[in-house]
Amino acid sequence: MIMMAKREDRTKVLIIEDDPVITEFLSTGLRYEGYDVTGKDNGRAGLEALKREAFDLVILDIMLPDIDGFEVCRRIRAKAIEVPILMLTVKKDISDRVMGLDSGADDYLTKPFSFEELLARMRAILRRSGKARENSKLHAAGVVLDPATRRVSLHGRGVELTPTEFGLLELFMRHPYRVFTRDTLLNRVLGYDFDGGTNIIDVHISHLRNKLGDRPPRLIRTVYGVGYAFHPGDDAS
Amino acid sequence: MKLVERLSLRAKLGLLYAALLIFSVVLVGFCSYWNIWELFINNKSSHLRARAKPVIEHWLIGNGLAGSPHPRLDPDRAAALARDLTSRDSVAIILNREGRIIATGRRLPEEPEAPLPDQQELKRAFAGENEVTYCSQVHGEPVLVMLIPLRPAPASPHIFGVIQLSSTLADINQILFRHGAMLMGLVAAILILGTLAGYWLIGVSLGDLQGLLDACHQISKGNLSKRVPLKNRKDEIGQLASSFNEMVDRLEATFASQQRFVANAAHELLTPLTGLKGSLEVLLRGAQDDPVARARLSKGMYKEVNRLIRLCDQLLGLSRLESSSHIHRQTVGLQDFFSDFMSQARLLAGNRSVLLRPGPFVTISVDPDLLQQILLNLLSNALRHSTDETPVVITWRLRPEFVEIEVSDQGEGMDQETLSHVFEPFFKGKSTGRSLGKRSGLGLALAKSMVEAHGGSIHIRSNLGKGTTVTFTLPIK
């Protein structure tokens, strides 16, 4: 089962987008990343939601059926709501981006965008606005991982990891107890277009376990027939 | 010839102008030279005659020859007459009936020498011609020669001798030479000034042509915003420039609309692609391990793929309609066509009501598949923009040359601004509530292309809050 942080600890994201397929993948993907997602399919409903509830971030499409994204943005700012806004646009005109930023957006993404980039921009915006709920350094069972400096230490001693091993450990530590299939690990650490057998993941995991001195009951546990999951041991959930 | 072809228009016109100028000035100069020469000769001969006439008359009377029926020419008397007629600038000799010289007037060395008589001219004088005047030469010097027949009385047929008076033409030649020199100078001056002025005039007339040429070069390089500076010219070049500018205006508009079309098409394709890419990414990142998420994302992707296919179909349809070879006309009775169509229409309308008000019986030549597509497009628009309580009405009317088919709703209508753009590809008006994403904005553009491919026309009129009526015509045969 997927273990999630308590709802109030999670970053709350409002998606205002009229295309149901885009809303679907955004909310599914963001929920997997541990965000609390609310979706609205027009500008008025989005503004209503903002009035009722406080959000940490708004993902706003420009082409909306009732009032366009620029106008939604201006109205949010007019009400002095200090929520960071990430705009989605198809148009690549400079004027559109300028208009987006001028109307009060913090950043924009042009469709079609990469989900990875969306996550990176969201993290950047949240950091800038000081709304990042997560501690920048990840701690678990004596392992400390700093995504900014890409350093890992075990009980205060530095551990040298390859980029792939680092990626795996960061993924496990961000999502404790979640079971990852070898396929998913491969896609997320080595890229979607990596061609090769999934057993390469087993090799990297084994290296990682060695470097962390991981002995049974392990931090990185094998889930037979499925994949791997990270068990920090202490009661984190 | 090759050289002339290689010259610029300006140089060609300049050369032609200069050649015409030279020809006319030389002609004028030559004529005036000839005229003046003629005038001098006439003047001189009349002067000679005027001087000679009283002397001859006096001599005739003094020698008893006037009126004599058988006058005879005595050499001594003739010598006296010749002497009387001779002076510093003219000399006389007298010839008898046989044409022999019997007396010559020249005595002093400063008096001019007489030329030898010309027998041809003498014959004319003896034949009775009073004024035989011609030019001859003495030692290379030009002289004017005048032959005066001697008669006992004016108009008498008894010619008993001929006086040959001759006078030098050196003085006239000198004057004429000066005149000729002056004329040459003048011709040269006129030529230089005229050519310069002509070249300037041609330059002014053709100057804008260079601007036109430069603009053409720029436009052919792709700078469609370039125009020919007009300078308010009303002549042919001005008209050429303004027609040229109009042509480029239309070209630019066509290019811009084509670019807009391509940009819009790409824009429309990018939206479903965003859904596809994002869904795939989320699946690959781990959602594939969750059956619920996997099912939902796959369904969404399936929808997006269908949307892409539909869009490509419509784009292909639009481009196919550009050529009429894709229209398969058949003779169609409208009654039969609509009875088939209404079952489709009800399927599309669901629980909404679509009313058919049949018009008169008529058969037209039309592609029934395209006609059905036009009507389905219009019907779905009408249904989308009206409420459930109001019906959509379809009817047709007969006009002299064509049938008029009408689809009208009692829905929200639209404003003038929206109305002026509805036939543009990818234009989407402001929609109330219903999702924009599902629509390509090609429906009316397609309908228009299909109607026009049949040789008809399509119109739309609308009142905000009252409804919209789309009318299109199809020619009968």
For every one of its 237 residues, what pLDDT tens digit does chain A have, with 9 covering 90 and above?
344 455 567 889 999 998 888 999 999 999 888 899 999 988 889 998 988 888 999 999 988 877 888 888 889 888 878 889 999 887 666 677 778 788 888 888 888 888 989 998 998 888 887 766 555 778 788 888 888 788 888 888 888 889 889 989 988 888 888 889 888 888 888 887 777 777 888 889 999 888 888 777 788 888 888 889 988 875 443
Chain A residues whose beta carbon lies within 8 Å of the beta carbon of residue B436: 18, 63-65
- Residue A60 in domain: yes
Please report the DSSP string for B185-227 in residue order: HHHHHHHHHHHHHHHHHHHHHHHHHHHHHHHHHHHHTT-TT--
pLDDT of residue A131: 63
A226 lies in the same domain as A198:
yes
Residue at A1 is within a domain: no
C-alpha dihedral sign at A48, A51, A52, A54: positive
Chain B residues lying within 8 Å of A91, measured CB to CB: 267
B281, A115: Cβ pair inside 8 Å? yes
Q: Which two tokens stand for residue B195?
A: 């050519």
Q: Write down the pLDDT at residue A27.
A: 92
Residues A125 and A13 in one domain: yes
Phi, psi angle pair for A132, to nearest 5°: -60, 120
Query: Which residues does B contribute to its contact with A (CB < 8 Å)?
Result: 267, 270-282, 284-290, 293, 296-297, 300-301, 303-304, 431-437
Is residue A224 located within the same domain as residue A144? Answer: yes
Q: Indicate if A191 and A103 belong to the same structural domain.
A: no
User: Chain A closest CA to B315's CA: distance in Å?
Assistant: 19
Cα nearest neighbour of A93 on chain B: B263
Which residue is closest to B293 within chain A, CA to CA? A28
Q: Please indicate, yes or no, if residue A71 is contained in any of the structural domains.
A: yes
Do A34 and A104 lie in one domain? The reply is yes
Are A206 and A228 contained in the same domain?
Answer: yes
Residue A2 lies in a domain: no
Of B437, B300, B296, nearest to A32 by C-alpha is: B296
A158/A62 same-domain check: no
Residue A4, in any domain of the structure: no
Tell me if A59 sits within 8 A of A26, measured CB to CB: yes
3-state secondary structure of A91: coil
What per-residue confidence (pLDDT) applies to B207? 73
Closest residue to B279, CB basis, from A25, A42, A63: A25
Q: Is residue A75 part of a domain?
A: yes
Our count of domains for chain A comes to: 2
Question: Residue A3 domain-assigned?
Answer: no
The CATH number given to whatever domain includes residue A83 is: 3.40.50.2300
- Residue A23 in domain: yes
Task: Give the closest-approach CA distance of B241 to chain A in angstroms.
Answer: 35
Which residues contact residue B185 at a Cβ distance below 8 angstroms, ignoring those fewer than 6 apart?
Answer: none
Residue A118 belongs to domain spanning: 9-129
* C-beta separation of A59 from A15 below 8 A: yes
Asked if the Cβ–Cβ distance from A25 to B267 is below 8 Å, we say no
Look at residues A78, A104, A129 and tell me which one is the last residue of a structural domain: A129
Residues A115 and A179 in one domain: no
The contacts found for B421-430 with CB under 8 angstroms, 24 or more apart, are B422/B460, B423/B448, B423/B458, B423/B460, B425/B261, B425/B264, B425/B265, B425/B318, B426/B261, B426/B264, B426/B265, B426/B267, B426/B268
Residues A148 and A63 in one domain: no
Q: In what order do the strands lie in the sheet with B141-150?
A: B101-104, B90-95, B161-168, B141-150, B132-138
Helices (H), B385-429: 416-419
* Number of alpha helices (DSSP H) and beta strands (DSSP E) in chain B: 11, 12
Helix/strand/coil for A94: helix
Last residue of a domain, one of A129, A158, A192: A129
Nearest to A29 among B275, B285, B432 (CB): B285
Same domain, A148 and A116: no
Domain boundary among A111, A129, A147: A129
User: pTM to 2 decimals?
Assistant: 0.60
Q: State whether A96 and A152 are in the same domain.
A: no
Query: Can you list the pairs that B455-462 forms with residues at least 24 positions away whose Cβ atoms lie under 8 Å?
Result: B456/B402, B458/B423, B460/B419, B460/B422, B460/B423, B461/B419, B462/B413, B462/B414, B462/B419
Cα–Cα dist A3/B396, whole Å: 65
Whether residues A15 and A119 share a domain: the answer is: yes
pLDDT for A7 equals 59
The vertex-B276 CA angle with B275 and B277, nearest 5°, equals 95
Listed as ranges, residues in chain B with pLDDT below 50 are: 432-437
**Domain of residue A190, CATH code:** 1.10.10.10
Residues of B in contact with A120 (CB under 8 A): none
